[in-house]
Structure 1
Amino acid sequence: MTEPRNGGVKTLGVKLPDALHAQFSLVAQLDDDSLGEAVVRAVDLYVQTKRAESDFAERAKRALDEIEKEAAARRGAIQGLFGGEDVPTPSKPAPARSRKPSGES
């Protein structure tokens, strides 16, 4: 398993259906693990499984490319605010996030 770097950890709240929670609790107990330890093991296994998928590297590269385009656009906007040199913005803007109409929850 991967260890947190610099002692950093994140808190994750997960809602489980009652039946799955009961099974998960029993399995963790049989393995003499706390629920927290079992969750970390489960998440680690999930990440390992996804990384082994044949198209995972390509999907990750596309996500990284999109993040870098967005970062370049934001960097250019910040530099523009302070009179710095303009950084070229990506030719294709990031897709707009959908919003629910007002009054909808």
Structure 2
Amino acid sequence: MTDPKGVKTLGLKVGAELHAQFTLIAQLDGISLNDATLRAVELYVETKRSEPDFAQRATAALEAIQREAEARAGAIQGLFGTDPAEVAETKPPATRGRKAAE
């Protein structure tokens, strides 16, 4: 398992019958429901990775993410007429304390 800072909570709703079966199987294996769920998720991920078209679908998703990032960066550049890195460099420093009364 990863360090606690990298852990995410996953809420899962299952029917009563499936829950009872899952609970029984985890008990028979001598593991907690959390560990059984983690194993199930790991198995699902490995199963999906081995699908013939998975790499192609993952590449397409990555390309879509990159296009979206480029579009957002372009929008920021359009707002300021500059490179987003330049905007970050010219950002006014944060002030501390309360604003002075006018």
Summarize the Cα distance change of 1:37–1:6 in structure 2 as closer, same or farther, 3 Å threshold.
closer
Report the equivalent of 1:92: none
| Offset of residue 78 of structure 1 | 1.6
> Which structure is richer in relative contact order (CA contacts within 8 A, separation 6 or more)?
1
2:6 pairs with 1:19: no
TM-score (norm 1): 0.73
2:28 counterpart residue number:
30
**Between Structure 1 and Structure 2, which shows a larger proportion of helix residues?**
2
What is the Cα-based RMSD across aligned positions, in Å? 1.8
Q: Distance in 2 between matches of 1:6 and 1:14?
A: 20
Q: What does residue 54 of structure 2 align with?
A: 56
Q: Describe the superposition over 1:12-36 as per-residue Cα deviations: whole angstroms up to 9, x where unpaired.
A: 1110011100010011111111111
Structure 2 CA distance for aligned equivalents of residues 7 and 85 of structure 1: 33
Query: What one-letter code is carried by the residue in structure 1 that aligns with 2:31?
Result: D
SS where residue 16 of structure 1 aligns?
Answer: coil
Structure 2 residue runs without a partner (length 5+): 85-102
User: 1:10 is aligned with what amino acid?
Assistant: K
**How many residue pairs are counted as aligned between the two chains?**
84
Structure 1 unaligned regions, length at least 5: 87-105
